[in-house]
Structure 1
């Protein structure tokens, strides 16, 4: 398998304009590129987690206060260079999972170290929000490089969501399903952007349908009501969705219906690989419903 091209990240961090970020990038890059047996991504993941922990605990005073955010920002820029099927993706996921399973504070140097714990992955949620850009018709946002990076980032988070529950992954999953399935087609978007959005939506279902279905079940059993405003705007519905709860079986059924429509040819001109992924997503949703009913 070809080595991922880290060029986009190199263009940001290879200049040395921010020495702290450049140093973090070089540590991550060297671990990724170190020649080892590619069947052992977990060992490399542990090594990278140790590197990150060391950065947090050893950074000088100028870097220390921002070290958690800097690490995530650099790591997410690298993630966008790594295709979902490459072993490096598994390595990067494993590094974050490893950190989330550690006990204690990331450093005693904080004023309140008990509030900055490994298990909370401090600043990761904020870094994710700052890294997020929806593919749309804006200069540069429908370029092949951007669309591939968007796929890679979503795939990373979809895999991570199965293993770590301390990040706002539900927000990202529902965002992508809304963008791809619940909104009117963007007439200005080209075919590549449309297929990218569908690919991302299917990625969340392929890797997160079980978790999402259980979340819906628990929410329905709780009897809680959500609206689309204020703090619950995260779960807002798109204009194509009929009147229903923001998080419930009716919305799940709408997603499945849209996948079925697209798979049958009502999604416009899509390539065969995208159609096949849509069919796979629909089948997984069917399977989850069967298992859920048992």
Structure 2
């Protein structure tokens, strides 16, 4: 199914961005196979950079256009997959792009870091469910955007722990609202868990010493009653709230599809916990096995030493006689 990008065309693009949009749109609509489109998208982005004297600065415009297109591509659509795999392909490049922000130092930025992408995503990160007016079109674009960023995160590019934490906080740690806004919040929160539960769990478990700015960014909502800002306690609270909100789906006027997604998210969280428990048990078993093997090794060495001593003594006695 081809996506109608006519709404994206109405975006107030800059003179830099309009031709970028036209090229990327043409690539997506080109009647080729999926792999051909992925390679062409990556080539397009490289071409934009090489044709510009602004170095990594042109990527601000490229990523902005990509995000505007992503707003209109639903989760799981082949075009979304094209962009995700395109970014993965760019990250595997060995060459670099010069930094426009620091021309005097001639800094080279690796493609592995997708320069400026996280800043552009942050600039567009405006949750429409916080607005007083409910606009279904904006909710749809927000779902599409979060799905894309979550799926990019699942590929191993995860410089933005704040984004999933913010969406989980909005959906699970703040007083619930009724209708499509709450529906959207829970859809987005479950999307992050479905695709990135392992990454989120690892991040909130490993971050210990937070500076003031990061601690403020990852602060909890008013409903969270735990002491730990990050870690298993907050994870368990999210699980509990998912279950409670799903039980209240009728009162909150949630769509049945969202309830099913919540169940899928809870299943993912359970699997992560089971996996962590199994990993912990395996680690303990290895440690115990290592200690046992070490003890056995010491015992065997001692026995060998005693055997050697016995043989030596017999030989020595025989020599004397």
Considering the TM-score relative to the shorter chain, is it more than 0.5? Answer: yes
C-alpha displacement of 1:107: 4.6
* Alignment equivalent of 2:157, drawn from 162, 165, 174: 165
Q: 1:88 to 1:107 in 2, by over 3 A?
A: same
Aligned equivalents of 1:148, 1:5: Cα separation in 2: 14
- Separation (CA, whole Å) in 2 of partners of 1:167 and 1:46: 24
* Alignment-derived partner of residue 9 in structure 2: 10
Matched, 1:91 2:82: yes
Partner of 2:294: none
Measured on the aligned residues, the alpha-carbon RMSD in Å equals: 2.2
- 8 Å CA contact retained: 1:226, 1:247: no
1:68-124 deviation digits (Å, cap 9, x = unpaired) = 100000100101110002110100111111112212222598554443221221111
3-state secondary structure, aligned to 1:209 = helix
Give, in whole Å, the separation in 2 of the partners of 1:231 and 1:131. 19
Given the alignment of the two structures, is residue 133 of structure 1 paired with residue 118 of structure 2, yes or no? no
**Could you state the TM-score of these two structures normalised by the residue count of structure 1?**
0.86
Aligned counterpart in structure 1 of residue 243 of structure 2, from 260, 263, 273: 260
Contact kept, 8 Å, 1:93 with 1:160, in 2: the verdict is yes
Equivalent position of 2:171 in the other structure: 180
State how many pairs are aligned. Answer: 275
**Structure with bigger gyration radius:** 2
Structure 2, unpaired ranges of 5+: 279-321
Q: Tell me how far apart the structure 2 counterparts of residues 166 and 55 of structure 1 sit (CA, whole Å).
A: 25
Question: Residue 66 of structure 1: which of 53, 57, 79 is its match?
Answer: 57
* TM-score w.r.t. length of structure 2: 0.79
Of 9, 18, 42 in structure 2, the residue corresponding to residue 49 of structure 1 is 42
**For residues 34 and 160 of structure 1, do their structure 2 counterparts lie closer, same or farther at Cα, with a shift above 3 Å needed?**
same
Contact 1:199 1:277 in 2 (8 A): yes
Change (3 A) 1:65 1:207: closer
Q: Which runs of 5+ in 1 are unaligned?
A: none
